[in-house]
């Protein structure tokens, strides 16, 4: 029976998750060089439009229709076939199915957009649109179905409250594969053009993440409140941990580092938020700040040109959070979850570990091969002259700022 409170909350949560994609555009746009602000921002906004079209045509159906215990769903609900204004979401019968459709669509929109920070300044828009389409169909949709749509991994007992595997691990390791294939930038000057813009984007991402995590309970109850609480606590502890490490190493507290630490904490708590006790959130947040910082340092040492640290923050954060869920999960907190290692169930820890490794390796390998194929259709990387001119001018014919204006 429809619950108006849960339905209203889920509409709000979907709106918050939608806000995260423009917020990501601001976050990445501020981190980009001045000649590439629009080039990186348009990739996020393009996903808002095109992913919605794909989701309506067949994406929702492939994720949440049929295919019980399998890898992919079917086309039974393509073009919203059989879904009416009176249809209720079968998972809890508390919200209309169209609300669930919209909420999950917002996840589908932002996930591939996360990857774009890795290859900033280097990829043609045509190749990106092909990337956006193919990656969703063959990476995102299968893992949504397998973990949230009654598929193989869900039947096996794998848990992912809001997307540690489905969103962050897949996107983060796809980003790393993109970096390896596309190669380093010609101009290594990656000074952010606007740190205030980064701060606005980061703040809006943090705000939207409450809808991302708390909304994943898909109704309003005590687990919703727990997920909200754990999200904020982990993000805050990760922020402090990152600043402490960076300050001690570089003798100065960096604002961009503080903001990056918050995103690392948010990404890491995502798979855990509604399954762990409150006391575990500070531990997970602190671990996120430390481990993700070290991952970024490793990337720098290895000279992987992940321009905006997508792998180190989202990829490593998603993997870490999924593994720590295997440690700290408690059925006493959420009967719909599982007991983790410290509550006497090491087998659940192993399931989480195996699942996140499979997802990360698959996303990496498929993305690398996919980029090779796309390059046969249209060049993936821009020319050196276009890169030096900047993608805003060379591809889009626009500039973020009119420098001649008074």
Give the 3-state secondary structure of residue 156: helix
Confidence of residue 406 (pLDDT cuts 50, 70, 90): very low
Tokens of 324: 């720590």
Beta bridge partners of 88: 96
Q: What are phi and psi of 226, to 5 degrees?
A: -60, -45
Write b or e for each residue in 357-371: b if 16 or more Cβ atoms lie within 10 A of its Cβ, otherwise e.
ebbbebbbebbeebb
Q: Are 22 and 379 contacting, i.e. CB atoms less than 8 angstroms apart?
A: no
pTM equals 0.96
Tokens 């808002």 sit at which residue? 48
CA-nearest of 347, 349, 380 to 183 is 380
Residues 380 and 371: their CA atoms lie apart, in Å, by 7
DSSP-derived secondary structure for 262-327: HHHHHHHHTTTTTTS-TTHHHHHHHHHHHHHHHHHHHHHHHT---TT-HIIIIIHHHHHHHHHHHH
CATH class of the domain comprising 4-391: mainly alpha
What's the DSSP call for residue 3? Answer: -
Q: What is the pLDDT of residues 126-185, one digit of tens each?
A: 999 999 999 999 999 999 999 999 999 999 999 999 999 999 999 999 999 999 999 998
- Alpha helices per DSSP H over 149-221: 152-156, 170-182, 195-214
Q: List Cα–Cα distances, 232 to 90, 217, 272, 403, in angstroms.
A: 30, 16, 13, 39
Residues 98 and 270: their CA atoms lie apart, in Å, by 24
Q: What is the pLDDT of residues 9-42, one digit of tens each?
A: 999 999 999 999 999 999 999 999 889 999 999 9
Tokens 């996020």 sit at which residue? 44
Give the 3-state secondary structure of residue 218: coil
Confidence of residue 405 (pLDDT cuts 50, 70, 90): low
Q: Are 9 and 94 contacting, i.e. CB atoms less than 8 angstroms apart?
A: no
Residues 395 and 139: their CA atoms lie apart, in Å, by 28
Q: What is the pLDDT of residues 214-252, one digit of tens each?
A: 999 999 999 999 999 999 999 999 999 999 999 999 999
Mean pLDDT rounded to a whole number for the chain: 96
Q: What is the pLDDT of residues 96-115, one digit of tens each?
A: 999 999 999 999 999 999 99
């Amino acid at each position: 029976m429809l619950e108006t409170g849960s339905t209203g909350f889920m509409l709000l949560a979907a709106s918050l998750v939608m806000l995260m994609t423009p917020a990501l555009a601001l976050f990445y746009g501020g981190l980009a060089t001045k000649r590439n602000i629009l080039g990186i921002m348009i990739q996020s906004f393009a996903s808002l439009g095109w992913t919605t079209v794909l989701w309506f045509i067949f994406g929702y159906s492939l994720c949440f229709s049929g295919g019980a215990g399998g890898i992919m769903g079917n086309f039974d609900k393509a073009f919203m076939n059989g879904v009416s204004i009176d249809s209720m979401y079968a998972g809890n019968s508390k919200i209309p199915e169209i609300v669930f459709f919209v909420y999950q669509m917002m996840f589908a929109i932002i996930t591939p957009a996360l990857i774009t920070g890795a290859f900033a300044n280097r990829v043609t828009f045509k190749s990106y649109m092909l990337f956006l389409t193919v990656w969703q169909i063959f990476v995102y949709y299968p893992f949504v179905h397998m973990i949230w749509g009654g598929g193989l991994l869900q039947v096996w007992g794998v848990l992912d409250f809001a997307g540690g595997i489905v969103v962050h691990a897949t996107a983060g390791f796809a980003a790393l594969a993109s970096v390896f294939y596309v190669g380093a930038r010609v101009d290594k000057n990656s000074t952010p053009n606007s740190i205030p813009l980064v701060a606005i984007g980061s703040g809006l991402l943090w705000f939207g993440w409450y809808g991302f995590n708390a909304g994943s309970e898909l109704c309003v109850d005590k687990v919703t409140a727990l997920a909200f609480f754990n999200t904020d606590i982990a993000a805050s502890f990760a922020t402090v941990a990152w600043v402490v490490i960076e300050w001690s190493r570089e003798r100065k507290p960096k604002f961009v580092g503080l903001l990056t630490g918050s995103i690392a904490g948010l990404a890491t708590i995502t798979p855990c938020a509604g399954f762990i006790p409150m006391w575990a959130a500070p531990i997970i947040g602190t671990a996120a700040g430390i481990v993700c910082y070290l991952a970024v340092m490793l990337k720098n040492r290895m000279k992987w040109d992940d321009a905006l640290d997508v792998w180190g923050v989202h990829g490593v954060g998603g993997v870490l959070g999924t593994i720590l869920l295997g440690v700290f999960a408690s059925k006493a907190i959420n009967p719909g979850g599982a007991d983790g290692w410290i509550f006497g169930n090491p087998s659940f820890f192993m399931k989480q570990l195996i699942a996140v490794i499979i997802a990360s390796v698959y996303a990496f390998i498929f993305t690398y091969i996919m980029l090779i194929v796309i390059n046969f259709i249209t060049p993936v990387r821009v020319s050196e002259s276009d890169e030096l001119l900047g993608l805003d001018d060379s591809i889009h014919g626009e500039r973020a700022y009119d420098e001649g204006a008074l």
